Amino acid sequence: MKHAYTWAAILLMVTASVTGDVLLSKAMKQVGDVGDLWKSHGIFHVIGNVLRHPLFALGIVAMTIAFFALLFGLSWGDVSLIAPASASLTFVGNMIAAKLFLHERVDRRRCIAVAFVACGVALLAF
């Protein structure tokens, strides 16, 4: 039963994390290169621009859900299972979401990598 709870926490974390990652990525691309902005306008301008972005706020909400799912998961299972499994599944989910919503180029190199990651995740369950 504990094993089922662990995997439920992982799945919740992956869903919330993919949503958050896509929203945050979109927000940060619209804000611009943080390093360049820091040099030209200062750190407070950068922080203000990021915090005022509506997609950033939505991304934080999704990430908060993912964080609490992680806390639950860690109280039920080993970090060496939960951290790589959730991060790897998030990677696969992000690959699909990034292509669909961020229009990133997902070429053969990245598809092969997804296969590697999927096999790795399957092995983590043993």
In the complex, the residues that contact other proteins under the rule CB under 8 A are 21-22, 24-25, 28-29, 31-36, 50, 67-68, 70-72, 74-76, 78-81, 83-84, 87-88, 90-91, 94-95, 98, 102-107, 109-110, 112-117, 119-124, 126
Closest approach, Cβ 12 to other proteins, in A, equals 13
Closest approach, Cβ 15 to other proteins, in A, equals 16
* Dist CA 66 CA 17 (whole Å): 6
Q: Between 4 and 123, whose beta carbon lies closer to other proteins?
A: 123
* Dist CA 55 CA 32 (whole Å): 14
| CB 91 within 8 Å of CB 22 | no
Q: What angle do CA 17, 96, 123 make, to 5 degrees?
A: 75
